Amino acid sequence: MAQATVPTAPSMSSEEMVRLAREHTFFSWSVQGQLDPIAIDHAEGIYLYTPEGKRIIDFNSQLMSVNIGHGDRRVIDAITAQAQKLQFVQPAFVTEPRARLGEKLSQILPGDMDKVFFVLGGAEAIENAIKIARHYTGRYKVLSRYRAYHGATFGAMTLTGDPRRWPNEPGLVGVVRYPDTHRWGEKDPRPVAESLRGLEDVIMYEGPHTIAAVFLETIVGTNGILIPPDGYIQGVREICDRYDILMVADEVMAGFGRTGKWFAIDHWGVTPDLMTMAKGLTSSYLPLGAVAMRHHIAAKFDSMYYSGGLTYSSHPISLAAALATISVYEEDGLIEHAAAMGPVMRRHHEALAARHPSVGTHRSLGLFGILDLVRSRDPYVPLTSFNGTSDEMKTVGKYLRDHGLYTMIANNSIHTNPPLCITEEQLAEGFAIIDGALEIADQAVTG
Ligand SMILES: Cc1ncc(COP(=O)(O)O)c(C=O)c1O
């Protein structure tokens, strides 16, 4: 592991950073007056450091994205070298990182996916996947689910089914929803046949000839690490084939080793028609996203005009960061390591569930994991309402922060998605802090 950031002495205190940033910069997903951000000076491996030197475990890889861990010298050097050689050419030109990364991705992508369109992040990947699907099929409807997040740009926000969509409506014309694999507030997923019948019903009612694509997060991320039961992903593929509709797998969060395989869809041996990626592609060292497409879809654009583009498409420095990041996954065996750490994380989840009545259920695949907290296991009553929070969850969040662990807390859930380079000892360190926080949640248990 080549972790070697060289921290220089911070010239600002946490207090100063927070004050100025709050005064002059706008924060996403927030009521600006209620913010209490953490100031970070530098980071290494799984640890973040404040300007005052307080160490914080990053148990969520920031936004499930710094998969290789922080401060990896190999990626920093690749970024520096590319910046010294060629900073930018517009996307009609080609560069060595573009040639190499395109080829490399086609080797690790599922099935016959062998062409990628480079953008700057996940939402842009989704926007372009919508366009590619519409151009390719000549149809305009796109299907997505309620328990889904696909990004915050206009089209991606409409595809997003969760409440982050509400204030942004009305959205894109032609987005239709189909049933989720998991109902909110229930412990177990729906039977596969029921979920698939729901999708097929929607296709029938909408008219298959009007539908360009079915979008899905292969494993739903921020809406609860919802792992589809075996057979579901294969079933969606089969339905899309039967009705000649494109299947678009959103692997922005689940891709790049998070689940112990390059892509989550590899667990089910399915090749989607289009696949979106971002986050782990550069481990967030620089912004980059991509849409991958199957050979026959790309081939259609050999003679058909694609009406879409971005100034920063195929930005050479981001592409150099991605190439180096992929080398790190390979050199350090991080995909295999995530697979090996999967059972270790699951054992921690099981131990916490055995000790704490507030743990209603837990889900994980590789290092993609979550604990759902409840007031009561039977009947199953989540510790928050849908799209809500509760005093107990706020106290749990405060405990974790006070004890030096950062992770995502959403609704009644504690996410556990550390960088893939995490060791068994470091996993134990993180879960020991969560163990302490759950004592608080246990006090709310009534049944
Ligand atoms: C599954 C999924 N798709 C798309 C996005 C949007 O990516 P970005 O924030 O890079 O635009 C996200 C972001 O969290 C995501 O989790």
Express each pLDDT in 213-237 by its tens digit: 999 999 999 999 999 999 999 999 9
- What is the model's pLDDT at position 446? 84
> For the residues 18-42, what does the mean pLDDT come to?
97
With contact defined as beta carbons under 8 Å apart, do 260 and 77 qualify? Answer: no
Tokens linked to 88: 């930018």
Given the CA of residue 289, which atom of ligand 1 is nearest to it? 10
Given the CA of residue 287, which atom of ligand 1 is nearest to it? 10
Given the CA of residue 279, which atom of ligand 1 is nearest to it? 10
Nearest CA to ligand 1 atom 4: 150
Please report, for residues 212, 293, 435, the alpha-carbon distance to residue 130 in angstroms, rounded to integers and kept in the order given.
8, 12, 42
- What is the model's pLDDT at position 5? 61
pLDDT tens-digit series, residues 82-101: 999 999 999 999 999 999 99
Ligand 1 mutation pick, 63, 118, 279, max ligand atoms within 8 A of CB:
279
Given the CA of residue 124, which atom of ligand 1 is nearest to it? 11
With contact defined as beta carbons under 8 Å apart, do 317 and 286 qualify? Answer: yes
With contact defined as beta carbons under 8 Å apart, do 58 and 406 qualify? Answer: yes
Amino acid residing at 359: V
Nearest CA to ligand 1 atom 13: 151
Query: Which residues lie closer than 8 Å to 361 by C-beta, 6 or more apart?
Result: 187, 353, 371, 372, 374
With contact defined as beta carbons under 8 Å apart, do 207 and 213 qualify? Answer: no
Tokens linked to 204: 């029938």
pLDDT tens-digit series, residues 271-304: 999 999 999 999 999 999 999 999 999 999 999 9
> For the residues 423-438, what does the mean pLDDT come to?
98
CA of 222 to the centre of ligand 1 (A): 9
Nearest CA to ligand 1 atom 3: 150
Ramachandran sector of residue 284 (left: φ over 0; alpha: ψ -120 to 50; beta: rest): left
Confidence band (pLDDT; 50, 70, 90) for 7?
A: low
- What is the model's pLDDT at position 6? 63
pLDDT tens-digit series, residues 373-401: 999 999 999 999 999 999 999 999 999 99
In the block, residue with structure tokens 């499930």: 64
- What is the model's pLDDT at position 447? 65
3-state SS of 94-137?
Answer: CCHHHHHHHHHHHHHCCCCEEEEEEECCHHHHHHHHHHHHHHHH
- What is the model's pLDDT at position 161? 97
CA of 92 to the centre of ligand 1 (A): 26
Side-chain half-sphere CA neighbours of 31 within 13 A: 2
CA of 341 to the centre of ligand 1 (A): 24
- What is the model's pLDDT at position 312? 98
Sign of the Cα pseudo-torsion (398, 434, 254, 82, in order): positive
Residue 2 has pLDDT above 80, yes or no: no
Ligand 1 neighbours (beta carbon < 6 A): 63, 121-123, 126, 149-151, 217, 221-222, 250, 252-253, 278
pLDDT tens-digit series, residues 155-192: 999 999 999 999 999 999 999 999 999 999 999 999 99
Given the CA of residue 120, which atom of ligand 1 is nearest to it? 10
DSSP secondary structure code for residue 70 in this structure: B
CA of 420 to the centre of ligand 1 (A): 19
The span from the CA of 69 to the CA of 351, in Å, is 26
Given the CA of residue 148, which atom of ligand 1 is nearest to it? 1
With contact defined as beta carbons under 8 Å apart, do 122 and 278 qualify? Answer: yes
CA of 182 to the centre of ligand 1 (A): 20
Q: Is 22 exposed, middle or buried (0-12, 13-18, 19+ CB in 10 A)?
A: middle
CA of 156 to the centre of ligand 1 (A): 9
3-state helix, strand, coil in the chain (%, to 5): 40, 20, 40
User: Which one has a higher pLDDT value, 435 or 5?
Assistant: 435
Residue 150 has pLDDT above 70, yes or no: yes
Let me know the angle formed at the C-alpha of 42 by 332 and 420, rounded to the nearest 5 degrees.
Answer: 25
- Going by C-alpha positions, the residue among 161, 295, 160, 145 that lies closest to residue 232 is 145
pLDDT tens-digit series, residues 107-129: 999 999 999 999 999 999 999 99
Amino acid residing at 356: H
CA of 444 to the centre of ligand 1 (A): 33
CA of 84 to the centre of ligand 1 (A): 30
CA of 176 to the centre of ligand 1 (A): 20
Average pLDDT over all residues of the chain = 97
Let me know the angle formed at the C-alpha of 274 by 367 and 244, rounded to the nearest 5 degrees.
Answer: 125
- Going by C-alpha positions, the residue among 360, 321, 345, 325 that lies closest to residue 407 is 345
Nearest CA to ligand 1 atom 16: 253
